[in-house]
Amino acid sequence: MITGYVLGESLRPGAVFAPHGLRIRKVERTDVSGIATAGQPALWTLVEWEAEDEDAAGPIAEALADALEPDLGWYADFTVGDERVVVFAGKVFRYRRGDAAGRAEAVAYGRAVGTPEHQLDWKE
């Protein structure tokens, strides 16, 4: 099973994120005015999704990489088995959960593309 989240606001205008087999689990609007940084909206739409087929992780990651807005360091992340997948616009990181070096590489990339430090907090 693959489970993950994507923020509606992180998708670039005109993007479609609809990989085969993806199911929406929940959609939630959240006020993040206390943590949003310059250029980010104060309300976020959190879309929680899942997919049964672990082989779909690659196509899902690529679909996210194609759909995410490159500005502001937006990213999405998900788990597949014991791996963590972190996706930025045009870039995918996969590492075994608990792999400090793999996580550090993804965090460093996030910093380089403008992800606010306090938002580099995906769970292992």
Task: Show the tokens assigned to 25.
Answer: 């689990």
Sheet with strand 75-80: strands edge to edge:
23-31, 43-51, 2-7, 75-80, 83-88, 91-96
With CA atoms as reference, report the closest residue to 52 among 1, 96, 14, 119.
1
- For residues 123 and 79, the answer to whether their CB atoms sit within 8 Å is no
Could you report the per-residue pLDDT of 31-52, keeping only the tens digit for each?
999 888 888 999 999 999 999 9
What is the residue extent of each domain of the chain?
2-117
Q: Is 109 helix (H, G, I), strand (E, B) or coil?
A: helix
Distances (CA, A) of 52 to 22, 33, 57, 68, 79: 8, 34, 10, 23, 12
> pLDDT tens string for the chain (124 positions)?
899 999 999 999 999 999 988 999 999 999 999 888 888 999 999 999 999 988 889 999 999 999 999 988 999 999 999 999 999 999 999 999 999 999 999 999 999 999 999 999 998 8
Task: Show the tokens assigned to 90.
Answer: 């045009």
